[in-house]
Amino acid sequence: MTQPTTANVAVWSPPGAEGVPWLRALVTTRHGGTSPAPYDSLNLGLATGDDATRVAANRARLCAALGLGDDRIVKLSQVHGTRVWRVPDAAAREGDGLWTAVPGPVLAIGVADCVPAFVWDVAVPRIALVHAGWRGTAAGILGEAIAILRRAGSHAADLRCALGPSIGPCCYTVGPDVAAHFPADAVRREQAELQLDLWRANQLQAEARGLEPEQVHSSPPCTACNREQFFSHRRDGPRTGRMWALAWIESDRTTRPSGARPPARAS
């Protein structure tokens, strides 16, 4: 389930993240903004035809609800690749993943069916956030992010991963050309159709990088199934909104911004 913060901005929180005092992690929903249909209402994306003034107002509402300055948000030009940038040292902004070990910067990716994947170290403040569509998943972006954190000093046993709201195998029909990029147990055949399971594919990727199955939460809500809560490009077409996945390290590691309630864990 989701829960409103201030200003009726509802967010989804990855299971397990709430138990780490210095970590904030969430995915926005479609509730709490100013945009009319078909972008109703908290559309945070500028590339699908919504009025830029409304998108700016939506972003301002989100920042106010979370107690953030918008200058803290680090956003990528997403290209469905495997580049994972270190923050704040990144010199460019084209890629599909971000990681940091410092408090302050807010890692952000936009999604509307692609998998937002969170990775964090429970022993030390070190986090990563990636955008894993089918191309990024097939190319191994989650595995790359985990490898980066391990090279930075994280032990596999201390890492946790959670997949955020994204299209599930129940709703993701693909052709054989796409299915061919994935292991057999990430593709289901339903009568004459092939259903791609991005959650399973990313789970396997995390395990290949040393995480045990219980260290990975790979059963998020399906964006296509949950019309009332989430935007979905596959369900609604190109004229729809975008959610943001956000992750950051709290500067004091113990308290949350005044006026913003902690996001609820998904049921």
What would the pLDDT profile of 64-110 be if each residue is shown by its tens digit? 999 999 999 999 999 999 999 999 976 668 999 999 999 999 999 99
E strand or H helix at 115 = strand 115-121
Q: What pTM did the predictor assign?
A: 0.92
Mean pLDDT value across residues 204-228: 98
For the chain, the residue count is 267
Neighbours of 41 (CB within 10 A): 18
Select 8-249's CATH number: 3.90.960.10, 3.60.140.10, 3.30.450.20, 1.10.760.10.
3.60.140.10
Domain layout of the chain by residue ranges: 8-249
Is the pLDDT assigned to residue 54 strictly greater than 60? yes
So what's the pLDDT on residue 126? Answer: 98
pLDDT in tens, 232-250: 999 999 999 999 999 999 9
Q: What is the DSSP letter of 227?
A: T
pLDDT in tens, 122-175: 999 999 999 999 999 999 999 999 999 999 999 999 999 999 999 999 999 999
pLDDT in tens, 99-122: 999 999 999 999 999 999 999 999
Concatenate the DSSP letters of all residues of 191-202 into one string: TTEEEE-HHHHH
Which residue carries 């796409």 as its tokens?
178
Which residue carries 């009332």 as its tokens?
228
